[in-house]
């Protein structure tokens, strides 16, 4: 039986108790916020999540009026602080405001608490959702928790929002004219949809729309949580019953009226109950990058504008495809998205035409592999994706804009199963570049490299005593178009031992993180932080100047947000 199955991994998590309240955190870049302006902090909600399956926290949120006209702020952040005093699994937190899933994903995987308590705080920049926060509306936090024998942890949560006034030095943040949800539009629970099958929604955009930037929030869960370790169907018969198939490749697609508009080869988010945390002695205290704040993906949908401004509804679809012949996946991924829509100063309809469209329905992929005479299994799955879409867009006020969206992504996943499956080695590389230009000006830019190595050896094949090594990086230069971009170079390495046993799981290990953006180096061993150094300035690397020319048909003041405080 393969190790990387949620039930087995989750069983490992309560192995080690600690003697003090543990501060658990993800190494992350703090949000850049202005200093020296008036701040208004308001509590959005407070809730103890005990038996909360199907019982989300739903509150009416009204923006503050003491930090300037609602919507005129220079920045907005959310601070989510959680304590728990018992034993509990990872739980997904889904934050929805005005029917849009916000805070990058705001799908927060809660760190597994220890017996003596845990506290963590995550501060997230939500400035790009200013059009939502400028009006009152429904705020929903879904955190499905379950209390049962052996699981007694109650998550006590408090969520605050901080609004930073604008000033001459810190002008109002750049914002879209409208945000359209690609979500279930539920008013009682988190607004993400479970796929497969794909999620579709009818969308009508304003007739004077001149650009559209989509953001997609995907999360692999259930049998898809360890998707990068799934076995290509062709080789499934060489593995024990219960091994999960559908292969390790996943492509998240956005379709407009059935045509691919853009895709993401997602970063393998490893939740706090995942493999690397086991190596830090029972799951604490550094979570994998992205677990508390799932990466999101940006697609410039502007080339479709001439087709969408006809005043009619259009079919937007988000789905997840594999490299298997039928492209199907297991259950399930949670997905949602949103469209940041920029309109023209004229109310006249935008016209134009799509001048070229080159996007295949699916990535070009291959599965190769072989079984040696001694039973060793080697499987390699690779995929490539090229997309190029161009349009000419004529705004009602008479401005002609040439728009191009291109993607060039490559992926390879190599799995080696040796010595009667007692050695399981994984290497995955996912590298790509997505880019749009509006009249030649670079607009959306996303260059990334997400390498992952997991090496696992069962040292006692009659039992379950493992040594494991782990090397996982998130290198990404992202400019989402209208908003502040970021450059992140994060690497996590871990090595350790763990013993799975009915009489109690044990383990030890080290877990190192480096993040070059602002140079925070954190090491942990045996539930203790052994090194925590912070140096460097966030402002230099993650607050590139915003180019006014990027925004078709409208002039925005560039945001200037100098380095602020660290968010944890
Ligand atoms: C956690 O705290 C809550 C509220 O104070 C309490 O009811 C519960 O029994 C505590 N659980 C544990 C495991 O200590
Ligand atoms: C959610 O609430 C909004 C605003 O009151 C309403 O327009 C919409 O119909 C509701 N959605 C559902 C699914 O009930
Ligand atoms: C979208 O609109 C089409 C007709 O234009 C309709 O058949 C379909 O049911 C609608 N889908 C949803 C999810 O509302
Ligand atoms: C929307 O597009 C998806 C993907 O092509 C398709 O499966 C679905 O049937 C379409 N829905 C409608 C209402 O046309
Ligand atoms: C291989 O592993 C299986 C399951 O753990 C075990 O039943 C079998 O005896 C092993 N074979 C060898 C040659 O060690
Ligand atoms: C780890 O796994 C990768 C991928 O299978 C392999 O190339 C590498 O040699 C392994 N390293 C060790 C130390 O086993
Ligand atoms: C973590 O860092 C420590 C000290 O810098 C080093 O000794 C150890 O080998 C590192 N562990 C891993 C898994 O990289
Ligand atoms: C693993 O746990 C089993 C059962 O408690 C125990 O017999 C064995 O000695 C342990 N192995 C190691 C290496 O700690
Ligand atoms: C970690 O566990 C391994 C395997 O049980 C053991 O050999 C090693 O001494 C342990 N390391 C520490 C520092 O306790
Ligand atoms: C962790 O740190 C505490 C406090 O410094 C210390 O008492 C404890 O021995 C350390 N635990 C380990 C496993 O090193
Ligand atoms: C976040 O909220 C917590 C709890 O209210 C508070 O203790 C902490 O200081 C806040 N952190 C920041 C950076 O605002």
pLDDT tens for 118-140 read: 567 778 889 999 999 999 999 99
Structure confidence at residue 509 as a pLDDT band (50, 70, 90):
low
User: 128: helix, coil or strand?
Assistant: helix
Q: Is the CB of 455 under 6 A from ligand 9?
A: no
Judged against a pLDDT cut of 80, whether residue 1 lies above it is answered with no
> Comparing C-alpha atoms, which of 240, 267, 268, 236 is closest to residue 369?
236
Over residues 531-556, the mean pLDDT reads: 31
ω before 196 within 30° of 0 (cis)?
yes
Q: Which two tokens stand for residue 374?
A: 């001694």
Strand locations in 115-208 (E): 118-125, 137-143, 155-164, 178-182, 193-195, 199-203
Which whole number is the average pLDDT over 210-227? 93
Count other C-beta atoms under 10 Å from residue 499's C-beta: 18
| Helix or strand run (H / E) with residue 538 | helix 538-542
Give the range among 13-27, 125-139, 197-211, 289-303 with minimum mean pLDDT. Answer: 13-27
Lowest mean pLDDT among 55-64, 223-232, 301-310: 223-232
| Cβ neighbour number for residue 460 with a 10 Å cutoff | 10
Residue 306 in this model has a pLDDT that exceeds 50:
yes
Is 402 a residue whose pLDDT tops 80? yes
State the pTM of this model. 0.86
508 Cβ below 6 A of ligand 9: yes
**CA 448 – CA 463 distance, rounded (Å):** 40
Beta carbons within 10 angstroms of residue 41's beta carbon? 12
From CA 293, how far away is CA 181, in angstroms rounded?
19
Taking the CA of residue 499 as reference, the ligand 9 atom at the shortest distance is: 5
Confidence label for 348 from pLDDT (cuts 50, 70 and 90): very high
Distance 176 CA to ligand 4 centre (A): 27
**CA 117 to ligand 1 centroid distance, Å:** 10
State the average pLDDT over residues 10-20.
Answer: 25
**pLDDT score at 231:** 95
Return the residue whose CA atom lies nearest to atom 9 of ligand 1: 152
**What is the arithmetic mean of pLDDT over 230-238?**
94
Confidence tier at 109 by pLDDT (50, 70, 90): very low
Q: Which of 215, 110, 83, 238 is nearest to 481 (CA)?
A: 215
Mean pLDDT for the chain?
Answer: 80
**Ligand that lies nearest to the alpha carbon of residue 463, given by its number in the listed order:** 8
What's the chain's Rg over C-alpha atoms? 23
| Positive or negative: CA dihedral 355, 394, 255, 234 | positive
Across 302-324, average pLDDT: 98
State whether the beta carbon of 512 lies less than 6 angstroms from ligand 1.
no
pLDDT (0 to 100) of residue 450: 97
Place of tokens 């789905």: 319
Hey, what are 235's tokens? 């080789």
Angle (CA) 538 428 426, round 5°: 120
Mutate to test the pocket of ligand 10, among 17, 18, 510, 528 (most ligand atoms within 8 A of CB): 528
Q: Which ligand has an atom closest to residue 33 CA?
A: 11
Q: Please indicate whether residue 85, judged by its CB atom, sits closer than 6 Å to ligand 1.
A: yes
358 versus 156: the higher-pLDDT residue is: 358
Ligand 3 lined by 202 (C-beta under 6 Å): yes
In testing the pocket of ligand 2, which one of 96, 185, 191, 193 has its CB within 8 Å of the most ligand atoms? Answer: 185
Distance from the alpha carbon of residue 455 to the mean position of ligand 6, in angstroms = 6
77 pLDDT higher than 50: yes
Per the listing, tokens 């979570």 go with 287
Which has the minimum average pLDDT: 242-256, 385-399, 422-436, 545-559?
Answer: 545-559
More confident residue, 482 or 188: 188
The per-residue pLDDT for 277 is 39
Beta carbons of 533 and 516 less than 8 angstroms apart? no
């Amino acid at each position: 039986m393969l190790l990387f199955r949620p039930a087995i991994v989750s069983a490992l998590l309560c192995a080690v108790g600690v003697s003090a309240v543990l501060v658990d955190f993800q190494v992350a870049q703090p949000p850049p916020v202005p200093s020296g302006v008036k701040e208004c902090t308001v509590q959005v909600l407070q809730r103890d999540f005990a038996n909360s399956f199907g019982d989300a926290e739903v509150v009416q949120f009204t923006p503050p009026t003491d930090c300037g006209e609602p919507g005129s702020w220079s920045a907005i952040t959310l601070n989510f602080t959680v304590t728990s005093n018992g034993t509990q699994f990872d739980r997904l937190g889904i934050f929805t405001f005005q029917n849009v899933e916000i805070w990058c994903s705001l799908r927060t995987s809660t760190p597994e608490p220890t017996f003596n308590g845990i506290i963590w705080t995550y501060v997230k920049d939500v400035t790009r959702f200013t059009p939502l926060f400028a009006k009152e509306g429904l705020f929903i936090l879904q955190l499905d928790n379950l209390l049962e024998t052996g699981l007694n942890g109650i998550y006590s949560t408090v969520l605050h929002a901080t609004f930073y006034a604008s000033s001459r030095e810190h002008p109002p943040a750049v914002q879209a004219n409208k945000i359209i949800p690609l979500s279930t539009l539920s008013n009682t629970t988190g607004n993400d949809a479970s796929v497969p099958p794909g999620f579709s929604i009818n969308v009508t955009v304003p007739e004077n729309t001149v650009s559209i930037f989509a953001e997609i929030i995907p999360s692999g869960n259930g049998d898809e949580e360890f998707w990068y370790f799934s076995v290509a169907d062709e080789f499934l018969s060489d593995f024990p019953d219960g091994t999960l198939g559908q292969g390790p490749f996943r492509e998240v697609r956005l379709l407009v009226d059935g045509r691919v508009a853009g895709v993401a080869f997602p970063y393998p988010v490893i939740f706090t109950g995942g493999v690397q945390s086991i190596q830090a002695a029972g799951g604490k205290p550094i979570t994998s990058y992205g677990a508390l704040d799932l990466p999101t993906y940006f697609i410039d949908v502007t080339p479709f504008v001439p087709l969408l401004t006809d005043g009619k509804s259009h079919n937007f679809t988000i789905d997840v495809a594999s490299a298997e012949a039928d492209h199907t996946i297991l259950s399930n991924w949670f997905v949602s998205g949103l469209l940041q829509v920029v309109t023209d100063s004229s109310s006249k309809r935008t016209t134009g035409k799509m001048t070229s469209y080159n996007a295949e329905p699916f990535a070009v992929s291959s599965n190769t592999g072989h079984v040696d005479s001694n039973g060793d299994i080697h499987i390699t799955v690779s995929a490539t994706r090229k997309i190029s879409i161009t349009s000419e867009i004529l705004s009602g006020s008479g401005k002609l804009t040439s728009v191009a969206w291109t993607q060039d992504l490559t992926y390879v996943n190599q799995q080696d199963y040796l010595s009667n499956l007692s050695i399981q080695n994984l290497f995955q590389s996912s590298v790509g570049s997505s880019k749009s230009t509006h009249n030649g000006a670079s607009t959306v830019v996303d260059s990334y490299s997400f390498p992952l190595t997991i090496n696992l050896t069962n040292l006692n094949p009659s039992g379950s005593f493992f040594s494991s090594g782990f090397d996982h990086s998130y290198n990404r230069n992202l400019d989402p178009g209208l908003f502040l971009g970021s450059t992140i170079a994060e690497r996590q390495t871990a090595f350790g031992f763990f013993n799975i046993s009915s009489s109690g799981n044990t383990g030890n290990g080290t877990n190192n993180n480096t993040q070059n953006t602002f140079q925070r180096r954190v090491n942990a061993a045996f539930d203790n932080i052994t090194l925590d150094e912070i140096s460097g300035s966030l402002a230099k690397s993650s607050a590139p100047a915003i180019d006014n020319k990027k925004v078709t048909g409208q002039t925005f003041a560039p945001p200037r947000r100098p380095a602020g405080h660290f968010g944890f």
